[in-house]
Amino acid sequence: MGDVTLFGVAGAVLAGLGVYGLIASPQPLRKILALNVLGTGVFLLFGVVARRGAAAGLGADPVPQALVITGIVVAFAATALAVALTLALTRAAGSASLESDAPAVGEDPGPPR
Amino acid sequence: MITASLFDIGLAALVVSVAAFAIVVRDTYSAVVAFVAYGLLVSLRWVLLHAVDVALTEAAIGSGLTGVLLLSAAARLRGGGAPEPAPPSVRVRALAAACGVAVTAGLVGAVLSFPDPAPTLAAPATEALPATGLGNPVTAVLIAYRATDTLLEKVVLVLALLGVWSLAGDAVWGGRPGAKQRADPDGILAYFTRRLVPVGLLVGLYVFWVGATHPGGAFQGATIVAAMWLLAMMAGVADVPPVARPDVRAILVAGAGVFFAVGLAGLAFGDAFLAYPAAYAKALIIAIEIAMTATVAVTLTLLIAGAPERTA
Amino acid sequence: MTEFLLVATPGLPLALAAACVLPAVRVRMLPLLALAPAPGLVAALLAVHAPPATFGAGLYRPTFALDAPGALLLGVAALLWIAAGAYAATYQRGAANPGRFAVCWLLALAGCLGVFVAADMPLLYLALALLTLGATGLVFHDETPRARRAAALYIGLALCAESLVLVAMVTLASATPDGSLLIRDAAAALPAMPGRDTTLLLLIVGFGVKAGLVPLHVWMPLAHGAAPMPASAVLSGAVVKAGIIGLLRFLPVDSAIAHAGSLLAVAGMLTALYAVAVGITQQHPKVVLAYSSVSQMGFVAAVIGAGIAHGDAAMPLLAAFYAGHHVLLKGAMFLLVGVVAATSADRLRGTLVLAAVLAVGLGGLPPTGGFIAKYAVKGPLGDGWVATAAAVSAVGTTLLMLHFVRRVQTVAATAPDARAAPGLAGPWLAMAAASLVVPWALYAMLPLGTAGDAFAPYALWAGLWPVLIGGALAIALARWGAGLPRVPDGDVVVVIDGAVRGASAATPRAVAADAVLRRWPAATLLLVGIAAALAAAITAGRG
Amino acid sequence: MPFVADLATPGGALLVLAIAVPAIGVLAAFALGSRHAARIAIAVVAAGFALAVAVAARVLADGAPLVYVLGNWRPPLGVALRADGLAAVMMLVTTVVLFFVALFARADFATPAGVRDARAPLVFWTMLLAILAALNVCFLAGDLFTLYVALELLTFAAVPLVALDGSAETLRAALRYLLFALAGSLLYLAGTALLYGAYGTLDIALLAGRARADAATTVAAALMTAGLLAKTALFPLHLWLPPAHAGAPAAASAVLSGLVVKGSYFIVLRLWLDALPAVITPAAAQFIGALGAAAIVFGSAVAIAQPRLKLMVAYSTVAQIGYLFLLFPLAVGLAHPEATAITGGMLQVASHATAKAAMFMAAGLVYAALGHDRVADLTGVARTLPITVAAFALSGIALIGLPPAGGFVAKWLLLSAALATAQWWWAVVIVVGGLLTACYVFGVLGRTLATVDPPPPRGAVTRGREAVVLGLAIVATVLGFAAFAPVDLVQVGRPPVAGVPR
């Protein structure tokens, strides 16, 4: 089973990279990219689990694979919404940084509805 | 299952290094290009994991459509001229690296502690296959055993699309998403599109049809159809439909609607919600898959097209 | 019948307060304030030893009941609320926002009377909460900066006190047989329960704040000084008794908690003497009266403490009797201040003589109500140091009240022949008469002791000498009093102001820390950090 | 775990309708345009309330949870729906709050005449139904992956509501909310992968039987809990909540603060009380309780210093979420978990949901009437908006935990659980929390009741909308009479007090 654990380690490393990118990269687009890398890492974990569960004549356990397919589609929908939000934010505020919003005590950041 | 072959180790190292490059590189555009390459490599790894269905989905949606999305966004943002926000301090990057390592270590530790006779549902899944009339167990899980997840996922897609549309200004609500494509009608792109789209549609339908017994299925087929439609739009051959058109809305809810209809029919007449009576399980599943393919294709395309920007 | 009366006691004021949601009703509510306490008065007379009234059949069944001390205090409190209600009808007519005053008045009334009839702990807590909300509204009513500060201090300390009482109630509820919520069972279970001493401390401090034991009394001079006149009367007279009835009902007369009794006695006597010492330095008559209330509440707490320490079973009724007299007299005194403020200096002669008699009566001058009250509590006080301290307190009280009579003249109206409206003078005279007559009537009716030996020569002398010494000291104070230091009203409240300033300085730091925590890198680092900490906690915990 | 994995009880069809009706409502509202969407939404929410009452009645009558096997595929292969006492209470609270919010929002999100389909109304009404569908799945699903899809449904429904007015401020808040919620979801997904790898199933009842304390389960529980805490915005993971909830329109803020955060909170409850009680240790429960206590102190301190009313109410949510997590150290991982703690916790959830929704709507009305919501300039609002201030006061009293509100009974039960399990420090936290809440609630009320200079009203606020807000505030107060209920709905389906899951 040597190579399956290799896949597991690779998935875990990709997840770690995704977490690093999520924390350290400043622009939202790079954070979305990092989230996708983290997602693929987690899906590879499902892949390893499926592969270890190979039985009854199947190369891998079909249930985790189905979960991954659903996960990929949901992750794509999330990416699409996040990218659309980033574009809208850039259009509305000029720059798409996440930081400059902390309303310091005292100043009134515009009338919310 | 001797020790991992050289190819596996090489591929694993390559995937990790491309991912690291995509995360660390300074310029966003090259990061996205690296991400697309990374997506294809991951599809390859899925084939090695004997998960061909997932490989198809990853290639089509994970790297294909997500790549298009990120590339177009990167292009738009790069043009904006907004000053690149300063990268975080070294201390934050070090802590982030530590967190990354911690997560990796945790996951590796967990994977290593999995029980040896790995618990699996492969056996019950294959035994129950004849009842669903399907050949491909993954499609059976998606459409029969865990049908609720797929059903809810359709509603998720509808919500994501409405969320994207809600970012439009009130003035252009109901208009056409995305900027007007100015491609010259008899350029090489239009010529290539007119030749490729019919073939692509055929491949998409085939992948959808074969999904019942072999790797493939609704999602993968729909993605290929969506890719073709996107190509047509980029080439200026077709234009994005306005958001307010009732028939577009109808198609968008058709997939989930048919799924619910069949499910509730099962609740009323059959023995459970989403249970397909054995006699015409195959027919019902096909009906659901057709509606789902149409819906997913349109939804994925409109998700990439983005929020309405023009009324013309 | 009695069940209806018990429920109507807090029920009618609450119903009237609810009716005030309609502006039309709210504007015309002021004259009805005097009627609201009527069911309370009738209940006190008729429903004394009626069986407890229980409602509902679920996990919690609210119960109303009235024991002898409760009935006595309820009766006199209702009397004061009726008189003060009539007084307020004229006093507040011209003032701003009568609707809000009426609503707050009715809430405080419902809470105050509810405290006396509540037989189970959650219902008592509900009454205390209503009392706090209503009383804060009354203190806040004039909306001067002084009133705002007094109201903020009042609701702050009151909520803290109620929280302590709540924790004590929950502990008692877990100690009573099969989780019964009745106060009677809680008091029975108190001496033998595991966390007895902490619960005792919580109860004494919780109700101590309500009754104004030093150093928890700081809100009283400020609140009673800042509230409108009728509100001060009921706050100082009836509302303060919530703490007393709490102590009476929760602390059983049991040798196992004798140490708590002596602690309470010490705190009470300390309060009594300290309040007099600070009271004589005050200038405004209402603040002087407030300090007199603090002193008298300390005295009553001392009586309760001594009674528990000596195991005197008759103490609850006697303490309630003494407190009952104080309700009437203190209410009369506050109404007097309003009457004096409305009459010109030269027409005050008769009123001041009557006021002087009543004021000295609080010190124990025979044959006033005060004398019989002090005579009644001689038993529980016993004859140790507590008795001597009581005598000294009597001297102090006389001195303080005469100082009050001198100070009240300064607020007389300047207009040449101004005369107090009948709406003000009537309730004042009624309360003055009640404070003289009612104690004797109650003494005769209730099994407190024979009236005959109250007039024995040695008893009369025991009542007279403290008053004479007090009078002499008052004359001395009048002549050389100018040299005394000016103590700000609420004396040790500066400590609390400091604490509040300290706490409010903490909020900007919290906001700054929050801004740091809400930055993206920090939050995501914490996300992974918490995941790691949870993993560690799950593995570590397994050992 | 008394959840019987395979027996489908007759009443189970109700569970399917509780999910199918709102989901079909979403599709219909999306397809038919915003004018029909408003009518569909109110009809579906009413139907949802009827279904919730039917489920609760059936659960009470049977005295056991309702179970429904979807597609007739029994777990572990298929997915089952389960409704125990906890789920029934949550469904009731959700539909009640949504009903009042729907009535309140009719004025804000009416489709202008002559227009078949307007943006904001379509988005609001469709997302309202999506939140109802997602929450019902969160409460009823018996499978951890179905719960993941429900969480995504909830997030995708909530994010557009935050950015409904399209200003840069709310777009940034929505993006931060989405990205942080996605990070949380992916951690949760990683946890499910590990659990499937270790046990071959994701069904909660089966997991309860098979869970053992090994490395995979520990890492899985830690990752899933951290992910869910991120989505519930428990301090210090609350970076997205204040700007999102303060920026959203009033009706949306009410739903976001009152209900949406409760979805992921409920899944943490499911995870710790039902799925992995054998793995979770008292130390972990104390850790989460400590985070809750920090949330109460920090959230209240920052709320007191907030210049704007909607931000103050948003930070009050941060503090009250801390309150909800005090349930864990009192009920989890102990030798005999206290049934009163769970009942108290659920009553606290219900009280906060109703009171916070009413408070946000009241703040919305104040903003609509005055054109601003600066706390300092609220003097005299009680004269111009008496019913709104009364509603704000009642919901404030419910949050503080004064009788007769539900918050008081919840505080009483939590206190008795804390003292019964000899954890006096949680009792201190509960009491201090109530006092801190009183600071900012009475701070605001004190100003509004002042009659010094009542502000000139700018916007028109109809008496009907104020009555709706007062109605919900009264519901929060009347919850206190739940203590009068003869039998305790929450306890149905809980393990016997001995705490040994079957």
Contacts of range C52-60, beta carbons closer than 8 Å, 24 or more positions apart: C52/C119, C52/C182, C53/C2, C53/C3, C53/C6, C53/C7, C55/C7, C56/D484, C57/D486, C58/D483, C58/D484, C58/D485, C58/D486, C59/D483, C59/D484, C59/D485, C59/D486, C59/D488, C60/C122, C60/C181, C60/D483, C60/D484
pLDDT over 90, % of chain C: 14
B48 touches chain C (CB under 8 A): no
Between CA C251 and CA C260 the distance in angstroms is 9
Give the highest mean pLDDT range of B8-22, B111-125, D366-380.
B8-22
Residues of chain A below pLDDT 70: 1-3, 100-113
Domain presence at residue D435: yes
Confidence tier at D157 by pLDDT (50, 70, 90): very high
Between CA D328 and CA D317 the distance in angstroms is 18
Between CA B241 and CA B247 the distance in angstroms is 10
> What's the pLDDT tens digit per position in D230-257?
999 998 999 999 999 999 999 999 999 9
Give the per-residue pLDDT at C355: 84
3-state per-residue secondary structure call for D48-77: HHHHHHHHHHHHHHHCCCEEEEHHHCCCCC
- The larger pLDDT score, comparing residue C301 to residue C367, is at C301
Query: Whole domain around residue D415: which residue ranges?
Result: 282-502
What is the predicted ipTM?
0.90
Q: Residues B142, B150: contact at Cβ < 8 Å? A: yes
Residue D229 has pLDDT above 90, yes or no: yes
Q: Kind of pairing, strands C63-64 and D66-69?
A: unpaired
For residue A93, the distance in angstroms to the closest alpha carbon of chain B comes to 10
Q: Which of B173-182, B244-253, C507-516 has the lowest mean pLDDT?
A: B173-182
Give the per-residue pLDDT at B220: 86
Task: List the single residue in B with minimal CA-CA distance to C531.
Answer: B103
Residue B152 has pLDDT above 50, yes or no: yes
* Omega before C215 within 30 of 0, i.e. cis: yes
Residue C543 has pLDDT above 70, yes or no: no
Give the per-residue pLDDT at D103: 94
Q: Is C350 exposed, middle or buried (0-12, 13-18, 19+ CB in 10 A)?
A: exposed
A13 touches chain B (CB under 8 A): yes
> What's the pLDDT tens digit per position in C475-500?
888 887 777 777 776 677 777 788 88
> What's the pLDDT tens digit per position in C72-119?
899 999 999 999 998 888 888 777 778 888 889 999 999 999 999 998
Q: Contacts of residue B103 in chain C, CB cutoff 8 Å?
A: 528, 531
Q: Residues C207, C240: contact at Cβ < 8 Å? A: no
Give the per-residue pLDDT at D335: 58
Contacts of range D284-287, beta carbons closer than 8 Å, 24 or more positions apart: D284/C534, D284/C537, D284/C538, D284/C541, D284/D221, D284/D225, D284/D333, D285/D328, D285/D329, D285/D332, D285/D333, D286/C537, D286/D329, D287/C533, D287/C534, D287/C537
B50 and A60 within 8 Å at the Cβ level: the answer is yes
Query: What are the start-end ranges of the E strands in D216-303?
Result: none
A56 touches chain C (CB under 8 A): no
State the amino acid at position D55 in one-letter form.
V
Between CA B20 and CA B35 the distance in angstroms is 10
Confidence tier at B1 by pLDDT (50, 70, 90): very low
A33 and B31 within 8 Å at the Cβ level: the answer is yes
Residue B4 has pLDDT above 70, yes or no: no
Q: Which of D17, D34, D72, D129 to mutate to test the interface with B (most CBs of B within 10 A)?
A: D72
Q: Which of C525, C538, C539 to mutate to test the interface with B (most CBs of B within 10 A)?
A: C525
Q: Residues C276, C396: contact at Cβ < 8 Å? A: yes
For residue B65, the distance in angstroms to the closest alpha carbon of chain A comes to 8
Q: Contacts of residue C129 in chain D, CB cutoff 8 Å?
A: 402-403
Q: Say which of A18, A26, A69 has its CB closest to residue B53.
A: A69
On whether the A2-93 domain is CATH 1.10.287.3510, my answer is yes
A7 and B49 within 8 Å at the Cβ level: the answer is yes
User: Across residues D418-428, what is the average pLDDT?
Assistant: 89
pTM: 0.91
Domain presence at residue D306: yes
Q: Residues D379, D450: contact at Cβ < 8 Å? A: yes
Between CA B82 and CA B76 the distance in angstroms is 11
- The larger pLDDT score, comparing residue D184 to residue C450, is at D184
Chain D partners (3+ C-beta pairs within 8 A): A, B, C
> What's the pLDDT tens digit per position in D434-477?
999 999 999 999 888 887 666 677 777 888 899 999 999 999 99
State the amino acid at position A19 in one-letter form.
V
Q: Which of C282-286, C297-301, D194-198, D355-359 has the lowest mean pLDDT?
A: C282-286
For residue A73, the distance in angstroms to the closest alpha carbon of chain C comes to 25
pLDDT over 90, % of chain D: 64
Task: List the single residue in A with minimal CA-CA distance to D167.
Answer: A92
C528 and A105 within 8 Å at the Cβ level: the answer is no
Q: Contacts of residue C531 in chain B, CB cutoff 8 Å?
A: 103, 106
A71 touches chain B (CB under 8 A): no
For residue D489, the distance in angstroms to the closest alpha carbon of chain A comes to 35
Sign, CA dihedral A63-A69-A74-A79, equals: positive
Confidence tier at D498 by pLDDT (50, 70, 90): very low
Q: Which of C125, C155, C534 to mutate to test the interface with D (most CBs of D within 10 A)?
A: C534
A64 and D171 within 8 Å at the Cβ level: the answer is no
Closest by CA position to D432, among listed D318, D305, D323, D348: D323
> What's the pLDDT tens digit per position in D466-492?
999 999 999 999 888 877 676 677 877
A89 and D172 within 8 Å at the Cβ level: the answer is yes
Q: Say which of C524, C525, C535 has its CB closest to residue B106.
A: C535
Round the average pLDDT of chain B to a whole number and report it. Answer: 87
Q: Say which of A24, A98, A102 has its CB closest to residue C515.
A: A102
Confidence tier at C507 by pLDDT (50, 70, 90): confident
For chain D, the domain total comes to 1
Query: What are the start-end ranges of the E strands in D253-366?
Result: none
**DSSP label of B25:** -
Radius of gyration of chain A (CA): 19
A23 and C518 within 8 Å at the Cβ level: the answer is no
Q: Contacts of residue D219 in chain C, CB cutoff 8 Å?
A: 535
Between CA A112 and CA D309 the distance in angstroms is 11
A111 touches chain D (CB under 8 A): yes
For residue C517, the distance in angstroms to the closest alpha carbon of chain B comes to 13
Q: Where are the alpha helices (DSSP H) in chain B?
A: 6-24, 28-48, 52-57, 66-80, 90-112, 122-132, 137-140, 147-166, 188-210, 218-234, 246-268, 281-305
Secondary structure (3-state) at C213: coil
Domain presence at residue D136: no
B97 touches chain A (CB under 8 A): yes
Q: Which of D149, D153, D186, D196 to mutate to test the interface with B (most CBs of B within 10 A)?
A: D149
Q: Say which of D183, D229, D283 has its CB closest to residue C530.
A: D229
Q: Residues C302, C385: contact at Cβ < 8 Å? A: no
Give the highest mean pLDDT range of C403-407, D49-53, D244-248.
D49-53
Closest by CA position to B56, among listed D161, A68, D104, C34: A68
Round the average pLDDT of chain D to a whole number and report it. Answer: 89
For residue A111, the distance in angstroms to the closest alpha carbon of chain D comes to 7
Q: Residues C121, C186: contact at Cβ < 8 Å? A: yes
Please, what is the Cα angle at B118 between B116 and B120, to 5 degrees? 170
Q: Which of D287, D296, D338, D385 to mutate to test the interface with C (most CBs of C within 10 A)?
A: D287
- SS3 helix, strand, coil % of chain A, rounded to 5? 70, 0, 30
Give the per-residue pLDDT at D496: 57
Between CA D133 and CA D26 the distance in angstroms is 9
Q: Which of A90-94, C200-204, D310-314 has the lowest mean pLDDT?
A: A90-94
Q: Which of B16-30, B104-118, C401-415 has the lowest mean pLDDT?
A: C401-415
